[in-house]
Structure 1
Amino acid sequence: MESILYLGSRLNDFFEIRDLEKDPGFSRFIPMVYDPIEFDWKSYFEKDFTTRFNGLMLKGTDHVQSVHLAVFPTEEVLETFTNESQPGDLLFMHHPLHMECGDPKGNWGRGFLPIRKDLLDKIKDKGLSVYTCHAPLDYNKQISTSLAIAEQLGAKVLEEFVPFANGYAGLICEMNTTTTSEIIDSLQSIFDIPYVDFEGKENDRIEKIAIVAGSGDEVTDMKIAEAKNVQAYITGEIHCHIDNEKGRRKFQTMMDYVPNTKMSLIGVSHASSEFLVMKTQLYTWFNDNFDVAVKLIPQNKWWR
């Protein structure tokens, strides 16, 4: 059992939360989804969180027996957490909002969605805590969303790319010679997904890859990687499948680029690409450093 104040302080220090004035993404997305529905998020969430948009979001009772790890606060994840937790337990997530990203073989998504107030109230009423770590978990030098993928692929990091907040979200890596088909088979197994989103060329000799966990559907970043002789670009999302004007515009920009690339472009879903760090690096870190039980809350469907 640990104190929530001690856990929060250790997390803040390890991920250097206070070195980042505000998260570049969620400082925009949280007001964007909550203000139109007139939810007073500034008074509901912890004060420091409402300026930094990382860190302790909801503070429950003091003693933490279990830490639960998830990526998005989907209704299914929050119901699991509230049903399987004890007062004081902590939910550690990458995102403070759910993002419905869409399915390359199914429906397009709605983008960022607010957490229902009754679910937030349920968390508060039970004395539970929520801590989210977005940008700092993407660029940390020891534990990060992209590093976890490199480790599972047995890839050696050569350099960072994709500037993001106080660091870099992407990695250029080398790995043992493989093929597009072999990488796809490995990724489907690692991420427990039924299929990948694929564009570009199928290559029979791949030795250099780029890894960008989460939303990697940026043509500018792909061109930088290709200029560094990368043969496969692995990310959460190759395409934006959010059903709005911006999403459709980004999708078309990618389709204009696809015929001209020699890389294999492989998407494994936004959520699964970022859950890997939870079940590998973070699971081990919490177990090794704290007197708490560590529990994983995967989504029952990664493409959604």
Structure 2
Amino acid sequence: MEKLLNIVQQLDETFKIKSFGKDPAFSRYIPQVYEGKFDWRKKFEPEFNELFNGLMIKGTPEVNNIFLAVFPTKDVLETFIEKGESGDLLFMHHPLLMECGDPVGEWGRGFVPIEETLLNRIRSRGLSVYTCHVPMDYHETLGTSQAIAEALNVDITERFIHDDKHGCIGIIGNVQPTDCEDLIKHLKHIFDIPYVDFEGRKKVINKVAIVAGCGDKTHWMQLAEDKGADAYISGEIHCHIDSDYGRRRFDEVIEYACKTSMSLFGVSHSASEYLVKKTLVAPWLEENFNLESVHLIPQRDWWL
């Protein structure tokens, strides 16, 4: 059993939550999606309402179990509510669901609010929620891209997509020579996904670039190509959000894919960020805190 405040303090310090200030994405999207629905600020902790990272919902003060997930999908939250005991903590990457869309199915709606009834059930059960978005993407040892690099046995040669204050979110490095078909099989196994979103013609892959999450930015892809990458691996290589913005981003990558020498691999936004919880964060929590258990909550559909 651990004190909630001790866990929160160590998470805040490990991921340097306060040094990042307001999360650039969720400081915009959380107010947007909840506007006119209910007073979301009363549901969340005051500091979370300023930073949009950290302790989001504060339950009872003692934690026995920590649950790990990426997006607050309905099935993830219902699993947490059903299995969690008073005081237990859900540690997610995102405080909002983002329906990213399926490359072989329906396109998504983008950011979607958590239902008020689910928030009320979490609070009434004395459960806690903590989220860490951008600070985890930049973390060099517990980072989203780092977990992918380790799973692929990448010999890291450099990091890219640089921020002057916080470091880099992308990784470039060498791998044992492989071809696209074998790499796709390997990615499907690592991320437990039925298929990979793929563009490209590269046959032999010696050097990869990795950007977990939403990597469908052609200037990032071009930067990786300029650095000699044969493959670009991300959660998303295409935006499948059903909006003018999503279709514009999709067309940009299609145009880029026609001329690039790289092969592009998308493993789903959520699956790409779940890996760090499974392979790096879960062992770290078990090592650093006196808990009964750490539970993983995978999404029912990675290509939501």
**Shorter-chain TM-score tier:** over 0.9
- Specify every segment of 5 or more residues in structure 1 that has no aligned partner in the other structure, as ranges: none
Q: Deviations over 1:159-195 (max 9, x none)?
A: 1112357332111111111111111110000000110
Distance 2:244 2:51 in 1: 29
C-alpha root-mean-square deviation of aligned residues, in Å? Answer: 1.0
Q: Is structure 2 residue 13 aligned with structure 1 residue 13?
A: yes
Give the C-alpha shift of residue 202 in structure 1.
3.4
Give the C-alpha shift of residue 50 in structure 1.
0.6
Which letter maps to 1:191? Answer: F
Contact 1:68-1:90 at 8 Å conserved across structures: yes
Distance 2:134 2:86 in 1: 28
Matches within 5 A, 1:185-200: 185-200=185-200
Contact 1:181-1:202 at 8 Å conserved across structures: no
- TM-score norm. by structure 2 comes to 0.97
Percent same amino acid at aligned positions? 53
Give the C-alpha shift of residue 141 in structure 1.
1.6
Q: Deviations over 1:74-124 (max 9, x none)?
A: 000000000001000000000000011100000000000000000000000
Distance 1:41 1:299 in 2: 24
Which letter maps to 2:42? Answer: S
Contact 2:63-2:87 at 8 Å conserved across structures: yes
User: Aligned residue for 1:153?
Assistant: 152
Q: How many pairs are equivalent? A: 302
Matches within 5 A, 1:237-248: 237-248=236-247
User: Aligned residue for 2:93?
Assistant: 94
Which letter maps to 2:294? Answer: V
- TM-score norm. by structure 1 comes to 0.97
Following TM superposition, the consecutive aligned residue runs of length 4 or more in structure 1 with deviations greater than 3 angstroms are none
Distance 1:287 1:52 in 2: 27
Which letter maps to 1:300? Answer: R
Contact 1:8-1:56 at 8 Å conserved across structures: yes
Which letter maps to 1:29? Answer: Y
User: Aligned residue for 1:127?
Assistant: 126
User: Aligned residue for 1:33?
Assistant: 33
User: Aligned residue for 2:175?
Assistant: 175
User: Bigger CA drift: 68-77 or 250-259?
Assistant: 250-259
Give the C-alpha shift of residue 258 in structure 1.
1.0
User: Aligned residue for 1:223?
Assistant: 222
Give the C-alpha shift of residue 62 in structure 1.
0.4
Contact 1:178-1:207 at 8 Å conserved across structures: yes
Distance 1:190 1:270 in 2: 14
User: Aligned residue for 2:283?
Assistant: 284
Q: Deviations over 1:238-267 (max 9, x none)?
A: 100000010001001111111100101000
- Specify every segment of 5 or more residues in structure 2 that has no aligned partner in the other structure, as ranges: none
Distance 1:58 1:110 in 2: 25
Where 1:118 maps in the other structure, the secondary structure is helix
Where 1:260 maps in the other structure, the secondary structure is coil
Contact 2:43-2:119 at 8 Å conserved across structures: no
User: Bigger CA drift: 153-162 or 7-16?
Assistant: 153-162
User: Aligned residue for 1:296?
Assistant: 296
Give the C-alpha shift of residue 59 in structure 1.
0.3
Which letter maps to 2:224? Answer: A
Contact 1:60-1:129 at 8 Å conserved across structures: yes
User: Bigger CA drift: 165-174 or 100-109?
Assistant: 165-174
Q: Deviations over 1:40-97 (max 9, x none)?
A: 2223210110111100000000010000000000000000000001000000000000
Distance 1:27 1:222 in 2: 26
Give the C-alpha shift of residue 14 in structure 1.
0.4
User: Aligned residue for 1:235?
Assistant: 234
